[in-house]
Amino acid sequence: MTGSTTYWCEHAQLPTKVHRGVRLTVVDGRFTEIATDTTPRRDDVRLRGIALPGFANAHSHAFHRMLRGRTHADGGNFWTWREQMYAVASRLDPDTYFALARGVFAEMVASGFTVVGEFHYLHHGPDGRPYDDPNAMGAALIAAAREAGIRLTLLDTCYLSGGLYAEGHQPLDEVQIRFSDGSVAAWAERVDALQDTDIARIGAAAHSVRALTRDQLIEFARVVGDRPVHAHVSEQIAENIATEMVYGRTPVAHLDEVGLLRDGFTAVHATHLTDADVDLMGRAGAGACFCPTTERDLADGIGRARDLADAGATLSLGSDQHAVIDPFEEVRGLEMHERLTTNERGRFGLGELLDVATLSGYRALGWEGGRLAVGSLADFVTIRTDSRRTSGAAPGQILFAATGLDVLDVVVHGRRVVAEGVHSLGHVDDLVAEAIAVVRSAS
């Protein structure tokens, strides 16, 4: 985007407090001026409700959206859920992946997310052979994000082993083989061919301590450079037990020993941590991405969010498997889970919660956004204050009342992607339904 646009907002949540009559001036995708207590001008784009910084979805697996409402028969657990996830993965190619991701990303935008970190390990063909373009699947995600109007960090994932048990790392199974490049060096060579754009960044991920050996993690830590780095960490108790048996330490301590636990590293889930783990993460300046709706859907447990924040770790949020796509549900889940485990309210202040949902997520994904402030990326949303959910709520407490259905407008890089609840691509319900139909009909 080039040129200047001014948006006039009835209310806006600025870094200090909610203000009335806020004019946001955008030039080349960034805020260049913010004025308060103004009246609308003829050339302003007028926006109803309250403007908030755009929400960050710091952990996503777009293709898991296929499993919503299909994994609850007979209870099930994480491992039976994973078998269904593998079945979905086997049906995806660059075309179906693009169609599905486009619909899922549009659903995110309509719900208020303006940036997503896509934890991407579905790299090659079903037999493990690369496509003619080795990055065809990543390119499909980047193209889908651009069409859906969401900012993307592609967390290209290194995945080399099939699991970790007491006897050590396991070989890849017939589904996992398409996730792997065979070595860290081959992974790095493929990823180096990907390029940052105005709305897409290339990050990195180690799938987990289960998916790379110690030596591979050390090599991975050497080659990732200054990219944002994410990894699944201590999501399952079984992972902790296996890592202790093989390496004699917890997953967090193991990641610290190989050189990955640092500023710029995000541990996804970080559910089952010891006191020493919490201290290590805080002292390292690492981040933790909580996915409350997924962690409760899979019965994974409740992580130590307040303890981690107090230790100095930075928190962010993700929707992970997309049992729910709603930033308000995720941010409320963070606070409500704390309330359930402590019998105390207000474990996080309103300002803290908003920062976790916006600013911290942007930083975890390598972007300078998540604030309504001069110099920040011009990504923001407006929330209606007159729905049956939000009527009567104090503007500064809208996080505790609204849902994604209350999102009126979404602006990304200064461009209005959603206007009065309507996405630029059309009806999001139809887009999602069509995308799911495409995958289900694939052979």
Q: Which residues pair with 202 in a beta bridge?
A: 154
Q: Which residues pair with 289 in a beta bridge?
A: 268, 316
Nearest CA-CA partner of 154 in 178, 135, 175: 135
Out of 230, 269, 337, 423, which one is annotated catalytic? 269
CA 271 to chain centre: 17
Nearest CA-CA partner of 402 in 364, 357, 343, 349: 357
User: What tokens were used for 160?
Assistant: 């080399």
Return d(Cα 412, Cα 150) in angstroms, integer. 7
Provide the 10 A C-beta neighbour count for residue 359. 21
**269 an active-site residue?**
yes
**207 an active-site residue?**
no
Distances in Å between the Cα of 435 and the Cα atoms of 122, 217, 423 are 18, 36, 16
Return d(Cα 320, Cα 322) in angstroms, integer. 6
Q: What is the strand order of the sheet 380-383 is part of?
A: 30-35, 18-27, 4-13, 45-53, 380-383, 407-412, 415-419, 422-423
Out of 181, 297, 320, 406, which one is annotated catalytic? 320
Active site residues: 269, 320
